[in-house]
């Protein structure tokens, strides 16, 4: 039996021979214990410490995943599903060693029905690959975390992004899953019907479970028609409260805006430098409108009026597709731009979400905290949902940096919870926010634990994440 309590030497395989031999029997040279490969699978894109697995299984089918899981389960080896590695709360670190199951080789489209606006893809397909596949049929998939994440990873972390205010998150856009359970059984959840009242909603239980209840190998997704017309605009504001009040009014009026993103002055400065742009370095909203030609004009007119009433300096339009692409690429690169503000440092990203009526207070109070801090922390937000992020730019080797980020993060989360919000809108719990889950959900966390024990009694699937047992 694999001893999960033994002292681990990072990067050095301490897997028993029966497991090593078994993995090679299943995968041949697609199983690796090389130090470099293990290191690369031991961290995400955040400041969290690298904790490499003891081996990496590069799988190509649900059957291979099931065989790997059966072998690991038999020998009590922890398993960590791995996609693009772009998570932000330490979700892939091998806290107790074990084997990373890399699903990026499962990158095939299984089935596509343009007329039903749905598709089934293997878990390793990325969001950009997906959109390339369906664009010629006039369709798109709206969920867009900044990185080019895999659909399996996006489902596992309940990802969202800039379009969620209009199109929802992975919660609303995953119709069904193929999942390998902790004992190697394969189940199919949900289905292709747009709605169903048939039994427990296992799909949504698994979406956001961060690999702790099963390993997602296929995802059936709801697609959306490319809108007839798209327009995008940028609106700078003299102060951040005016920008946020514009957002609140837009949401309360029910304008079906597709994207409404806030970048604070520091983020604009970072983005200008990183993406070679020349936005005014003041709080700024980025908008996108989807609809018919007439509908887009109507929506934009309403929102521009609201912006001007709240101190906006007027809309700057990005009408050509290449200008829009440049605009949103800069927005998606905001995380990397933020980190680049302080060369050699890494990002400690955090995100919270509050009811929209509290958003302005939450942001203004948070800026107050930051004004007195030694750390830079650019703020960006999917503000139409009441969701925003800070990226503390830290030197991971400097304990004072880490302590200060931790202090600010605790204050931010406490503020969000006091306002009726959540400790994470879209990044997930991973290992980074475990302390906050209980504060937010109280005794309900015991119910989560009971479900975990029922489905993974030996705690082998991504152990140590989401909550402590």
Residue 280, by phi and psi: left (phi above 0), alpha (psi -120 to 50) or beta?
A: beta
Please report whether residue 455 would count as binding its own copies according to CB under 8 A.
Answer: yes
What residues pair up with 287 in beta bridges, in sequence order?
233, 260
For residue 418, state whether it binds its own copies (rule: CB under 8 A). no
Choose the stretch contacting its own copies; rule: CB under 8 A; options: 5-13, 238-246, 265-273, 427-435.
427-435
Among all chains, which residue has been given the structure tokens 């709206």? 142
CB of residue 109 to its own copies, shortest distance in Å = 16
CB-CB neighbours of 302 under 10 Å: 16
Sign of CA dihedral 119, 86, 129, 270: positive
Window of 39-47, 205-213, 261-269, 390-398 that interacts with its own copies by CB under 8 A: 205-213
Tell me how far apart the alpha carbons of residues 144 and 150 are, in angstroms, rounded to a whole number: 11
Q: Is the Cβ of residue 169 or residue 310 nearer to its own copies in the bound state? A: 169
- For residue 232, state whether it binds its own copies (rule: CB under 8 A): no
Q: How many residues at the interface with its own copies, by CB under 8 A?
A: 88
Name the minimum Å distance from CB 154 to its own copies.
11
Residue in 21, 24, 23, 56 with CA at minimum distance from that of residue 39 = 56
> Least Å distance between CB 89 and its own copies?
9
Find the shortest distance in angstroms from Cβ 127 to its own copies.
17
Considering the complex, what minimum distance in angstroms separates the CB of residue 221 from its own copies? 13
The answer to whether 181 contacts its own copies (rule: CB under 8 A) is: yes
Residue of the chain from 7, 344, 454, 469 that contacts its own copies (CB under 8 A): 454
Beta-bridged to residue 178, according to DSSP, are 188, 218
Q: Which of 213, 341, 360, 390 binds its own copies (CB under 8 A)?
A: 213
Q: Report in angstroms how near the CB of residue 444 gets to its own copies at its nearest.
A: 4
Among 135, 194, 411, 468, binds its own copies (CB under 8 A): 194
Taking CB under 8 A as the criterion, the residue among 225, 314, 329, 397 binding its own copies is 225
The yes or no reply on residue 187 touching its own copies (CB under 8 A) is yes
Task: List all residues 6 or more positions away from 111 whose beta carbon is below 8 Å from its beta carbon.
Answer: 119, 120
Is there binding between residue 171 and its own copies (CB under 8 A)?
yes
Of residues 369-398, which lie at the interface with its own copies (CB under 8 A)? 385-387
Out of 69, 207, 307, 362, the only residue in the binding site for its own copies (CB under 8 A) is 207
Stretch that binds its own copies, among 22-30, 72-80, 92-100, 198-206 (CB under 8 A): 198-206
Residue placing its CB nearer to its own copies in the complex, 177 or 379? 177
Window 93 to 122, contacts with its own copies (CB under 8 A): 113, 115-118
Q: What's the min distance (Å) between Cβ of 153 and its own copies? A: 12
Smallest gap from residue 308 Cβ to its own copies (A)? 20
Within positions 280 to 339, which residues make up the interface with its own copies, using CB under 8 A?
A: 292, 294-295, 298
How near is the Cβ of 385 to its own copies at its closest, in Å? 5
Hey, which residues between 341 and 360 contact its own copies (CB under 8 A)? 353-357
């Amino acid at each position: 039996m694999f001893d999960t309590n033994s002292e681990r030497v990072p990067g050095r395989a301490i897997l028993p021979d029966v497991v090593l031999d078994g993995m090679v029997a299943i995968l041949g040279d697609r199983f690796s214990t090389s130090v470099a490969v293990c290191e690369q699978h031991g961290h995400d894109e955040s400041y969290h410490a690298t904790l490499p697995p003891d081996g990496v299984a590069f799988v190509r089918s649900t059957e291979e995943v099931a065989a790997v899981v059966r072998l690991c389960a038999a020998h009590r080896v922890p398993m960590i599903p791995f996609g693009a590695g772009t998570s932000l709360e330490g979700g892939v670190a091998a806290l107790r060693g074990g084997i990373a199951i890399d699903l990026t080789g499962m990158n095939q489209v299984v089935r596509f029905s343009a007329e039903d606006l749905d598709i089934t893809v293997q878990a390793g397909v990325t969001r950009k690959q997906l959109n390339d596949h369906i664009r010629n049929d006039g369709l798109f998939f709206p969920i867009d975390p900044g990185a080019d994440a895999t659909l399996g990873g996006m489902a596992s972390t309940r990802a969202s992004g800039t379009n969620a205010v209009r199109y929802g998150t992975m919660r609303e856009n995953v119709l069904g899953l193929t999942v390998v359970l902790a004992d190697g059984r394969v189940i199919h959840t949900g289905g292709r019907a747009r709605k169903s009242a048939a039994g427990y909603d296992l799909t949504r239980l698994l979406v956001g479970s961060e690999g702790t209840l099963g390993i997602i190998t296929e995802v059936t997704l709801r697609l959306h028609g490319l809108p007839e017309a798209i327009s995008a605009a940028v609106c700078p504001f003299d102060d951040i409260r005016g920008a946020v009040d514009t957002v609140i009014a837009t949401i309360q009026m029910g304008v079906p805006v597709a994207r409404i993103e806030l970048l604070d002055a520091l983020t604009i400065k970072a983005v200008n430098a990183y993406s070679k742009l020349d936005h005014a370095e003041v709080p700024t909203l980025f908008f996108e409108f989807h609809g018919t030609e007439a509908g887009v004009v109507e929506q934009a007119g309403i929102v521009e009026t609201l912006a001007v009433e709240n101190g906006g300096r007027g809309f700057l339009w990005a009408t050509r597709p290449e200008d829009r692409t440049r605009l949103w690429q800069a927005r998606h690169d905001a995380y990397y731009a933020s980190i680049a503000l302080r060369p050699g440092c890494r990002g400690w990203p955090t995100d919270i979400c509050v009811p929209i009526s509290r958003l302005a207070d939450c942001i203004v109070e948070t800026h107050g905290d930051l004004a007195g801090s030694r750390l830079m922390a650019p703020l960006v937000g999917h503000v139409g949902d009441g969701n925003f992020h800070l990226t503390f730019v830290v030197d991971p080797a400097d304990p004072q940096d880490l302590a200060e980020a931790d202090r600010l993060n605790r204050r931010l989360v406490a503020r969000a919870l006091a306002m009726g919000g959540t400790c994470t809108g879209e990044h997930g719990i991973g290992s980074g926010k475990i302390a906050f889950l209980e504060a937010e959900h109280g005794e309900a966390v015991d119910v989560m634990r009971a479900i975990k024990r029922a489905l993974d009694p030996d705690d082998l699937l991504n152990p140590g994440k989401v909550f402590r047992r």
